[in-house]
């Protein structure tokens, strides 16, 4: 299991004399108008006016805000490089975070001094650095000789006490996002349903209560839709329940439900070979739920949140579920299985019903790499949101926008639900090619009690990408951990 390294961040009080001694890379800020703060002025003096020459150049004048400039092997400095950031002193938190991402991509494995003084969004800039400073290379033969991304970052600030007070939340978010990325990046021969459950069990060390239901438990509960997905695999189905009760005296309870298909062949409705290797990420929803719970626990959130993840593997075999099979859900509705590759909704419908029956939540949010159709609709820029409640959906969108995690609301309605009518059962699990992501959400809506606010988030396009994303290198993004942490902070915390 890939461990999450401690954050190698050192905070020191402003000391202009320290700048000449700092090694690695020194980062200073210059405004678009060319104004230098005391730290940039000290660097300019040490380097005999190199910053003055830079800001008087046409290249600097034409550069966009947030652009980096490098001065290598500066005079009278121990550092190998000076990084000059062109940015306004008063800027948005997302602009500051974007600069941090750019710095992380530039820095490599070299230690760094951030001489940024009283830059207002310093913590967000640091968040950009630590979120982007990630790699997953544990299965490469020479991984032990490579940097683990934990090289020292020294932050020089006029108010180290205030900055230090913000660091625990930064660590909690970083660790939750990295947990999600690590789980999604793991190959399926390692991250089996049993191994996944075992790793989630380790979250009990953070104060999260963990319960694991096995196949006998699921059978006794009547979760036949869930069990049907896994009946062709030698890996047993498991339901893991993670409870964070940080405000035990409060009645408000948010439940998060995640799809945890550790590998999806499509079952008897077999997927094409090309690209099937990417189906190791079909447990992305469960990984996000785990990351959110870890973040809440690490920052000691005064909220009550229960995460439930259905862990299963969808394989073709002599015992596998067949197209045309009819299964009875925990709710009692019968489902005609038209396509065994529409398996995630069969897992979620039982887990969501169980969550409502047992926990009586104030709201429910489910996350799943559910459909390829959502990628056709929204590409890899936005997750698709579907909801029965405008308030909750708008709060999720607001949280996503505030964290620069793309999300877009998609429609629901009776006309889409009609496409799921079955001749033989109460409902069928697919509605045809048209509006595939919408009919998948419409299927799930049938297993949500009308009085419970619900949002379904289809993260198929954003959980893992072939190219780098806003906060991550290519691969697992950790999308959703920051959004849902902010949703909790804005709406479900007390005290």
Domain extent at residue 436: 176-491
* pLDDT for residue 249: 81
Catalytic (active site) residue 345: yes
Please report the pLDDT score of residue 266 as a whole number: 98
Is the residue at 407 inside a domain? yes
d(CA 283, CA 410): 22
Question: Closest Cα partner for 368 from 302, 282, 291?
Answer: 282
Tell me: do 95 and 183 sit in the same domain: no
Q: Identify whether 428 is part of a domain.
A: yes
| Active-site residue (options: 86, 98, 345, 428) | 345
Query: In Å, what is the CA distance from 169 to each residue of 74, 97, 334, 336, 482?
Result: 35, 15, 45, 46, 11
Q: Is 271 a catalytic residue?
A: yes
For the whole model, what pTM was predicted?
0.96
Q: Looking at the structure, do residues 369 and 235 belong to the same domain, yes or no?
A: yes
pLDDT at 144: 52
Please report whether residue 170 resides in a domain.
Answer: no
The number of distinct structural domains making up the chain is 2
What averages of pLDDT result for each successive group of 10 residues across the chain (495 residues)? 81 94 95 94 95 96 96 93 94 95 90 91 95 93 60 91 95 98 98 98 98 98 98 98 92 96 98 96 98 98 98 98 98 98 98 98 98 97 98 98 98 97 98 96 98 98 96 97 98 90
Catalytic residue among 45, 135, 199, 271: 271
Which CATH number does the domain housing residue 374 bear? 3.40.630.10
Same domain for 190 and 112: no
Q: State residue 5's pLDDT score.
A: 80
- Residue 149 belongs to domain with CATH number: 3.40.220.10
């Amino acid at each position: 299991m890939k461990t999450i390294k401690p954050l190698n961040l050192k905070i020191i009080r402003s000391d202009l004399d320290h700048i000449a001694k700092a090694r690695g890379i020194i980062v200073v800020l210059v405004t678009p108008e060319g104004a230098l703060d005391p730290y940039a002025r000290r660097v300019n003096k040490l380097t005999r006016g190199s910053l003055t020459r830079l800001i008087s150049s046409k290249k600097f004048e034409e550069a966009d805000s947030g652009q980096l400039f490098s001065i290598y092997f500066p005079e009278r400095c121990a550092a190998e490089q000076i990084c000059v950031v062109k940015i306004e002193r008063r800027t948005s938190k997302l602009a500051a975070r974007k600069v941090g991402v750019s710095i992380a991509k530039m820095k490599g494995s070299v230690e760094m001094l951030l001489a940024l003084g009283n830059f207002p969004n310093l913590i967000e800039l640091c968040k950009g650095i630590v979120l982007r400073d990630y790699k997953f290379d544990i299965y490469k033969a020479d991984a032990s000789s490579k940097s683990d991304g934990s090289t020292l970052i020294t932050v020089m600030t006029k108010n180290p006490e205030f900055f230090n007070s913000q660091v625990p939340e930064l660590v909690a978010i970083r660790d939750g996002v990295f947990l999600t990325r690590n789980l999604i990046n793991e190959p399926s021969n390692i991250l089996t349903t049993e191994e996944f459950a075992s790793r989630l069990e380790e979250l009990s060390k953070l104060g999260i209560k963990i319960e694991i239901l096995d196949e006998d438990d699921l059978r006794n509960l009547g979760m036949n839709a869930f069990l049907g997905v896994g009946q062709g695999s030698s890996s047993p189905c498991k339901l893991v329940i993670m409870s964070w009760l940080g405000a035990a005296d409060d009645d408000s309870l948010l439940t998060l439900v995640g799809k945890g298909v550790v590998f999806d062949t499509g079952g008897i409705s077999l997927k094409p070979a090309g690209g099937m290797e990417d189906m190791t990420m079909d447990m992305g929803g469960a990984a996000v739920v785990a990351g959110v719970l870890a973040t809440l626990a690490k920052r000691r959130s005064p909220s009550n949140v229960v995460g439930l993840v259905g862990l299963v593997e969808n394989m073709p075999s002599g015992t596998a579920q067949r197209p045309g099979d009819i299964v009875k859900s925990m709710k009692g509705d019968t489902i005609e299985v038209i396509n065994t590759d529409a398996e995630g909704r069969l897992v979620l419908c039982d887990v969501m019903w169980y969550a409502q029956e047992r926990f009586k939540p104030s709201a429910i949010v489910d996350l799943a790499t559910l459909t390829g159709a959502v990628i056709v609709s929204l590409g890899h820029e936005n997750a698709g949101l579907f909801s029965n409640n405008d308030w909750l959906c708008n709060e999720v969108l607001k949280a996503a926008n505030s964290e620069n995690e793309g999300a877009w609301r998609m429609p629901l309605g009776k006309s889409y639900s009609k496409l799921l009518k079955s001749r033989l059962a109460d409902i069928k699990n697919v509605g045809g090619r048209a509006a595939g992501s919408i009919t998948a959400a419409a299927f799930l809506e049938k297993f949500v009690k009308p009085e419970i606010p619900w949002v379904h988030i289809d993260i198929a396009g954003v959980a893992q990408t072939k190219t780098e994303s806003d906060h991550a290198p290519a691969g697992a993004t950790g999308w959703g951990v920051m959004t849902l942490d902010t949703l909790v902070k804005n709406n479900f915390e007390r005290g």
